Amino acid sequence: MSDILRMENIIKKFGQGHTEVTALKNIDFTVAQGEFISVIGPSGSGKSTFLTIAGGLQSPTEGKITINGADFGQMNEKDRSKARFKEIGFILQSSNLIPFLKVQEQFQLVEKIEQEKNTAKIEELLKSLDIWELREQYPKELSGGERQRVAIARSLFNDPQLILADEPTASLDSDHAYDVVKLLAKEAHERSKAIVMVTHDERMTQWSDKVYQMKDGKLLMKE
């Protein structure tokens, strides 16, 4: 299986002089097709910074990131944005849904951008996450957990190679949380996706192929 994401000697610093903080320290990390990897660690350990840098949402201070063999650091912002849209599915803690679009319309917007209709895929995803009956609702009419499940479905919809999930189960009850993690594992294993999930809940790592621990900005393989 080929590596989808490769991070080499990643360092991320914030601030300058006496206020400088090193959030990530010399991180080397790869995730290949068909792998579901979890990254655990306490709040403030650098997990979210790691994920946003992995997805090109912010740049490292030092180091190299390649996605599908393309060097993210060498791309201009337009090409980077295009690569993010085509290659990466983001699942963020805040669901990031468009407030004036109904659930079904969130997906139709992606179809418009992609210029490709896939009504059956929308139905399949919404049913797999138990939200098909919410398709005519606006985000404000949904609970936090329902919004998060819609966001997860949307991140999978345009069939990205790499999925980066930041605490995707934080606002879900246990049953739906397990369903979401099992769905992510299934996407990785059956559809050859590379998936990285950041979580503070170690119960959610049981379906992972590998588990890493973020501690004080360092990423270590968990035994």
Domains of the chain (ranges; CATH) run: 3-221 (3.40.50.300)
The whole-model pTM stands at: 0.86
Beta bridge partners of 14: 21
What local confidence, expressed as pLDDT, does residue 26 receive?
95
What local confidence, expressed as pLDDT, does residue 34 receive?
95
Q: Which two tokens stand for residue 51?
A: 């994920």
Provide the strand spans (E) within the chain: 3-14, 21-32, 36-40, 62-67, 70-71, 88-91, 162-166, 194-199, 210-215, 218-221
Counting DSSP H helices and E strands in the chain, the numbers are: 6, 10
Q: Mean pLDDT for each 10-residue chunk of the chain (223 residues)? A: 91 90 94 96 87 90 91 84 84 80 86 71 87 93 86 85 90 84 90 92 93 92 80
What local confidence, expressed as pLDDT, does residue 94 receive?
66
What local confidence, expressed as pLDDT, does residue 115 receive?
65
Cα–Cα distance between 13 and 204 in angstroms, integer? 30
What local confidence, expressed as pLDDT, does residue 188 receive?
92
187 close to 163: Cβ distance less than 8 angstroms: yes
What local confidence, expressed as pLDDT, does residue 2 receive?
86
